[in-house]
Amino acid sequence: MSQMNRRRALQLLAALGTTGFATACGSDNVDQPTAPKSPIKIGLIAPKAGGFKTIGDDITNGFQLFLDLHNQQLGGHPVELLTADEGETAKTGKAAVDQLLKQNVLALTGVVNSAVMVGIRDTVEDARVPLVGSNASPSSLQSVVYIWRTSYVLDEAGRALGLYLRDQLPANGRIAIIVPENVGSPDVVRGFKQGFGVTDPRIADPVTNTNPTTNPGKTTYVADIQKALRKNPTAVFCFFAGAAGVEFIKQLRDQFSGPVYAPGFLTEGTVLESLDRDALGIQTALNYSADLNNTSNRVFASAYRKKHQTTPTTYAMASYDAAQVLDQAIQLTGGTPSPQQVNLALGKIGQIDSPRGIWQFNQPRTPQQKWYLREVQRDGQVMSNVLTNELATLG
């Protein structure tokens, strides 16, 4: 071999390096597929009947959609998604958690009812299995290690609206506050008053607490609405969701035609369809709108509409994000994750590129995120929550 040819051969070998040399020599170890990771079980807790069933369906659909778009895997591990019926009480919720823990789930998700979330707190913490809750998030849930939430803290929706209405309501206006007597209502009302101004005379009337049922009748709220309207309020602030939201607004509209403000759950999903024109003009604060123009939302909303022939809700979005953060956390743990390793990894996740916009976990393990103002408007033959303003970043 000439000196020039030898020099050229050495240059080629140097450029290839060890890996390139092995490739050139036909090594059997190159381009071999990586070994599949071990299967994992995730437990999803959601109501399968009753007034919150539609929300339970949404969070189930949101989590499953993420799996559909990611080859039924989280962190590279094939996923078996196990579901358990949350029911409507802390007792039934605890039974659901116990059922899933017996099946050795790596993590838990879901939970619609705030009373259930409070009731299962100690069970989850004692089991040391992370729960990435995708809806219920009472502010009373403090000092938790294994419970994370991808939704919101209930007082934030009230605070966002309070900050907005403080400047929008006329000086001589008055707001009547009507809420069900349940675990979440005090959070919402406290947040609203903090945002609006606790001593502001425009919200000085006593709060009207009404029946907390999730399956109300045609006259359940009539007497309490009449009581709240005796002071001739300019507007009504309320906090309802699901079937209760439908009946409350129908009964309210029989007596009051003025402005109505609420956390966005009042007009989410099937509630809006059921209310039809009774929902027109209702303004709500929420952490999500299906109209948000970002890449993540375009992918999520398009896929959701294609699969379910309906617009995604905040419940579905938060559950989709629960799957997303579990995907990232499990990926960080490496080979064979344990619940404790996943929980530790959840604390290492930075910003999440979500359909709602960029957010991240704060110290209490809840999202720091933007809140939006929406108004129900007619979109052709249907009602739609139209995004009208950005309210605040809270959390």
At 3, the amino acid letter reads Q
Q: Please report how the helices 185-196 and 154-168 are oriented relative to each other, as an axis angle in degrees rounded to 10.
A: 30
Distance set, CA 277 to CA 37, 89, 145, 172, 273 (Å): 52, 33, 45, 28, 9
pLDDT at 256: 97
**Residue 253: both structure tokens together:** 């509209």
pLDDT at 33: 52
pLDDT at 142: 85
Residue 16: CB atoms within 10 A of its CB come to 14
Place of tokens 């059922």: 99
DSSP 8-state secondary structure symbol assigned to residue 290: T
**Between the CA atoms of 388, 391, 393 and 395, what dihedral angle is there, to the nearest 10 degrees?**
-110
Report the alpha-carbon distance of residue 324 to residue 352 in Å, rounded. Answer: 8
Residue 355 Cα to chain centre, angstroms: 11
| 257: helix, strand or coil | coil
Residue 33 Cα to chain centre, angstroms: 36
Half-sphere CA count of 16, side-chain side, radius 13 A: 14
pLDDT at 380: 82
Report the alpha-carbon distance of residue 230 to residue 237 in Å, rounded. Answer: 15
Q: What is the phi/psi pair of residue 283, to 5°?
A: -110, 135
H or E segment and range at residue 210: strand 208-210
pLDDT at 193: 97
pLDDT at 347: 96
Show Cβ contacts of residue 162 under 8 Å, excluding neighbours closer than 6 positions.
191, 192, 193, 194, 195, 196, 197
- In sequence order, the β-bridge partners of residue 283 are 261, 375
pLDDT at 34: 60
**Residue 62: both structure tokens together:** 């949101």
pTM of the entire structure? 0.84
Q: Give me the tens of pLDDT residue by residue for the chain, a chain 395 residues long.
A: 444 444 444 343 333 333 333 333 333 444 445 667 899 999 999 999 998 999 999 999 999 999 999 999 999 999 999 999 999 999 999 999 999 999 999 999 999 999 999 999 999 999 999 999 999 988 888 899 999 999 999 899 999 999 999 999 999 999 999 999 998 899 999 999 999 999 999 999 999 999 999 899 999 999 999 999 999 999 999 999 889 999 999 999 999 999 999 999 899 988 888 998 999 999 999 999 998 999 999 999 999 999 999 999 999 999 999 999 999 999 999 888 999 999 999 999 999 999 999 999 999 999 999 999 999 999 887 889 999 999 999 98
Report the alpha-carbon distance of residue 33 to residue 226 in Å, rounded. Answer: 69
